[in-house]
Structure 1
Amino acid sequence: MVPESALPLGMAGLSTRFRAITAAVAAALGPEAGPGRGTDASGFDPSGAQFDHDVVTFLLQVLGEGRPVYLCSETYPEPFVSAVAAHLGVFTAWGVGPGGQSSSVPREQLPPSLNQGFDYIGSATVALPGSASRVVRPGRSGPAGPARASVRNWLKLFRVHQYAKNALVMVPLLTAHKFTLASAATSLLAVVAFSLCASAAYILNDLLDIKADRAHPTKRNRPIASRVVPASQAVGAMGLVLAVAFAIALSISVEFCGVLFGYLVLTTSYSFWLKRITTVDVVVLATLYTVRVIGGAVAIDVPISEWLLAFSLFIFMSLALVKRYIELASQPDGAVLAARGYQVDDKSMVAILAAASGFNAVVIFTLYISSDTVRALYSYPQLLWAGCPILMYWISRVMLFAQRGLIDDDPVTFALKDRASWVALGAIGVIMLAAI
């Protein structure tokens, strides 16, 4: 437990069952999340604070036993303490002492049970009356330092779960029918390079969006926003993975390194600027996916198929628009999507554009089947027509699931976890191999 003298807040609770119990919770707040000691806290936003989960859980258990829980502080003013009490919702009542400049519940007006004795969780320097005793959490005999980030935290920071998206780098290997061990190894190296570069971009995005993420119901749990990984360490990690990514890229070819650099410039521009421009953001996202396909072709030195580029742009434009639709659907009426410029009223148009882009991709696929390119690559090109209804089914299913609220955030991530999506993708792969 971090003592109140080292943190912005001390919280106290008590019980009248047999012996009154007083508990205190320490809120570990960064300087941008809470007021400085003794300053006006009227603008404090508790949603950006990080509270001690174990202590809050303990207080909930005490409250669940029918015993009242109180919050007290002699360090911070009434608006600050009131905001925290209202945010956590665990306290029966709260009060501030003389050091808080005001007192909603003066000491002499606190429940008589405090005078009967209580247990206290909080600062080790606080003098307690003889009838009181301290609650010492196991393994917390002294001030606690910041928690060390676990391997899981670092993997979450690097967005390792997003690496599957970089399998797009290997698509030219399939479409160009270059099934050699050397080409496969090169493609795998290219996937690693794109994955590490993407991790660096994700870290940069998190560093830029710290304040917005801390105000978001789910993004506030990201490693940097939650302060599990210090920003300084995140910057160092970003530089390291970026250096490794370009070292791998140079080992493949200078041309591939150029494509990777272009990807980095575009994704950095997206993080700094382009993601805030309505509709430009989704076009850039679609382009970033397509650049992966281009990088895969350059890595194994095969011609870049114009059909593949057109298909990629439309299918990923559709998925990017579905992502925005999902975000808009989660907003209250009249809201504006933070840092995006979309309004909730745009939801129907975004859905229309997503469906149009998705089925344009199907049209491009049908035109590709009828082209001279296919006749040169496939012995049985007619078999490829069987892939069209599967593709139409999958696009329709994603749109329908988004409409029903069954996709939480990213449709690409959803597809990677969805069994039906894997079956559809596998069926199309089998059809393409059979047509060769």
Structure 2
Amino acid sequence: MESDTLSAHSRSFPDPAPPPVAAAVSPVLVVDLDGTLLASDMLHETFWSAVGRDWTTPVRAGLALLRGKAALKRVLAASAAVDVTLLPYDPGVIAEIAAWRDGGGRVVLVTASDQALAEAIAAHLGLFDETHGSDGAQNLKGPVKAAFLNARFGAGCYAYMGDSAADLEVWRHAARAITVNAPADLRRRAEALGVETAHLVTRPRTPGPYLRALRPHQWLKNLLVFMPMLAAHDLSAGTVAASLLAFLGFSLIASSVYVVNDLIDLDADRAHPRKRRRPFASGAVPIARGGALGLGLIAAGALAALALGPTFAAVMLGYLVATFAYSFVLKRRAIIDICVLAGLYTIRIIAGGAATGIELSVWLLAFSMFFFLSLAAVKRQAELIDTLRRGQEIARGRGYRVEDLPLVGAMSVAAGYVSVLVMALYVNAAEVVELYPHPAALWGICAVLLYWLSRTALITHRGEMHDDPVIFAARDRVSRICGLVILGFALVASGRLV
């Protein structure tokens, strides 16, 4: 028995002369698809793609599952619209296949995924002499796959490349077992089978991609839950503690939505020059774990929400429903998607008020409504400019065409300027005198906001805006300076700097 550990793009088989394995074992290399050739799983790929197209998919999938897993895969494959040219193929595995073919061996793709998907992938890659998948009645996995391979090629007459415990039964009958990114326990179990074994490692196992899947940088938006506390000048211990718990709950719930949204948007993200690096789209995090991750985050966020009382929990439920409605349907509806995005910002402020029991000012709600409508329009404008640069006419997964750019840009500028007008009217309101010893300093905030919004519109028009204007502001030096100047004016107005 032989055991090797190999790195990405290295030769799996240590024999010094080509062909590396064909001479010692067999001219047939059988390659699994999910988790092996592909850093993903087509069952989950098709499920989330189908859900993104029709939110009733889980019901139809459940009914299909009653007829067996192969039937489920057939139904999902027919309902989904997966672009096989964008899937996260493993370059290390492809390099091994190419080396085998260069040595004169034959390569066969045998997968539990549906036959139609397997054939589409094989046609795209052009690497396989044969392609076999599940046929809607028989699930080609584990013992069934082993029996199929033994009948077709003969026991001990093929090498098999796989990644999961289900492949142990196949490796038992193979001439050589090749594991791909397998955990240590699975490697040991494969070696214990008594067949020649090699291990291919192409991706590191680190928690980093899982953390990135939560998008912690997006938690900046959840700082809005502190706005009611700050606007009311209430910094008591109870209020601060309630706001901190609200921030935690909102961050957990928001991350669950980001996870689900990324799963639904896999194709669109993979076609995007920057979003294709997201953990699920790139294959850094298995999408099979995405659903469990999302549910866990929702459960943790719900506990935090319930601790703050029924009003806050109701607001959080409303946010969750609105975000899922946006992810599944509304983000593909022009204009309403921008309005919903703006509302999702504002609901964070409402949540802050619900958590602390502070009554929200009409001025604060009016300002936030127009200000965040402007930022939502900027987000869509940036996406449309990216679409135009890629030579496309329709924004993928959105309800806009490139000719809508002037209108969307005008919306962002108009809404932003109206928010500054609301702020200016607030400065002259009677209640301002009661809250601020030096209310005239608030005019400085109006001036800085007017400058920042105008500069943001110019940067977006030039195509230099990040996908999310909030993240852009956090990373942009000028925006950070503007934030500090606004804070300074607020402190002066409150009498804390004079």
CA distance in 2, matches of 1:341, 1:70: 50
Q: Cα 1:83–1:236, aligned 2, differ >3 Å: closer, same or farther?
A: closer
Asked if residue 75 in structure 1 is aligned to residue 133 in structure 2, the reply is no
Asked if residue 391 in structure 1 is aligned to residue 449 in structure 2, the reply is yes
CA distance in 2, matches of 1:46, 1:197: 31
The alpha carbon displacement at 1:386 in A equals 1.2
Shifted more, 416-425 versus 355-364: the winner is 416-425
The alpha carbon displacement at 1:176 in A equals 0.7
**Structure 1 unaligned blocks of 5 or more:** 1-10, 14-18, 37-42, 63-68, 86-93, 102-122, 127-135
The alpha carbon displacement at 1:344 in A equals 0.3
Alignment correspondent of 1:428 = 486
CA distance in 1, matches of 2:350, 2:131: 61
CA distance in 2, matches of 1:427, 1:433: 10
Alignment correspondent of 1:171 = 227
CA distance in 1, matches of 2:417, 2:394: 28
The alpha carbon displacement at 1:53 in A equals 3.9
1:379 aligns to what SS in structure 2? coil
CA distance in 1, matches of 2:425, 2:266: 45
CA contact (8 A) 1:46 1:83 kept: yes
Equivalent of residue 253 in structure 1, options 301, 309, 312: 309
Equivalent of residue 27 in structure 1, options 37, 47, 66: 37
CA contact (8 A) 1:73 1:81 kept: no
CA distance in 1, matches of 2:37, 2:365: 51
Shifted more, 328-337 versus 397-406: the winner is 328-337
Asked if residue 278 in structure 1 is aligned to residue 334 in structure 2, the reply is yes
2:108 aligns to what SS in structure 1? coil
Q: Cα 1:78–1:234, aligned 2, differ >3 Å: closer, same or farther?
A: closer
The alpha carbon displacement at 1:282 in A equals 0.5
Asked if residue 358 in structure 1 is aligned to residue 416 in structure 2, the reply is yes
The alpha carbon displacement at 1:222 in A equals 2.7
1:75 aligns to what SS in structure 2? strand
The residue type paired with residue 51 of structure 1 is Y
CA distance in 1, matches of 2:298, 2:334: 29
Equivalent of residue 209 in structure 1, options 265, 271, 296: 265
Q: Cα 1:249–1:336, aligned 2, differ >3 Å: closer, same or farther?
A: same
1:50 aligns to what SS in structure 2? coil
Equivalent of residue 52 in structure 1, options 87, 90, 98: 90
Equivalent of residue 241 in structure 1, options 252, 276, 297: 297
CA contact (8 A) 2:228 2:353 kept: yes
- CA offsets, 1:301-351, max 9 Å, x none? 111111111111111111111111111111145611122210000011111
| Correspondence 1:51-200 to 2 at 5 A | 51-54=89-92, 74-75=107-108, 83-84=124-125, 97=129, 99=130, 124=159, 142-144=198-200, 150-200=206-256
CA contact (8 A) 1:47 1:215 kept: no
Alignment correspondent of 1:107 = none
Q: Cα 1:81–1:312, aligned 2, differ >3 Å: closer, same or farther?
A: same
1:405 aligns to what SS in structure 2? coil
- CA offsets, 1:3-48, max 9 Å, x none? xxxxxxxx999xxxxx8888999732643689x9xxxxxx995533
The alpha carbon displacement at 1:84 in A equals 2.6
Report how many residues are paired: 370
**Structure 2 unaligned blocks of 5 or more:** 1-8, 12-16, 22-28, 47-72, 74-80, 110-117, 133-157, 162-178, 188-196
CA contact (8 A) 2:181 2:200 kept: no
CA distance in 2, matches of 1:71, 1:362: 71
Alignment TM-score, normalising by the size of structure 2: 0.65
Asked if residue 412 in structure 1 is aligned to residue 412 in structure 2, the reply is no
Alignment correspondent of 1:287 = 343
2:198 aligns to what SS in structure 1? coil
| Correspondence 1:219-238 to 2 at 5 A | 219-238=275-294
CA distance in 2, matches of 1:138, 1:263: 38
The residue type paired with residue 367 of structure 1 is L
Asked if residue 346 in structure 1 is aligned to residue 346 in structure 2, the reply is no
Shifted more, 418-427 versus 351-360: the winner is 418-427
Alignment correspondent of 1:325 = 381
Equivalent of residue 355 in structure 2, options 286, 292, 299: 299
The residue type paired with residue 401 of structure 2 is Q
CA contact (8 A) 2:393 2:402 kept: yes
CA contact (8 A) 1:321 1:350 kept: yes
The alpha carbon displacement at 1:372 in A equals 1.0
The two structures, once aligned, show a CA RMSD in angstroms of 3.9
Alignment TM-score, normalising by the size of structure 1: 0.73
CA distance in 2, matches of 1:434, 1:414: 27
The alpha carbon displacement at 1:390 in A equals 0.7
The alpha carbon displacement at 1:240 in A equals 1.9
2:467 aligns to what SS in structure 1? coil
2:393 aligns to what SS in structure 1? coil
1:331 aligns to what SS in structure 2? helix
The residue type paired with residue 326 of structure 2 is Y
Alignment correspondent of 1:112 = none
CA contact (8 A) 2:339 2:373 kept: yes
CA contact (8 A) 1:45 1:83 kept: no
The alpha carbon displacement at 1:185 in A equals 1.7
CA distance in 2, matches of 1:295, 1:100: 54
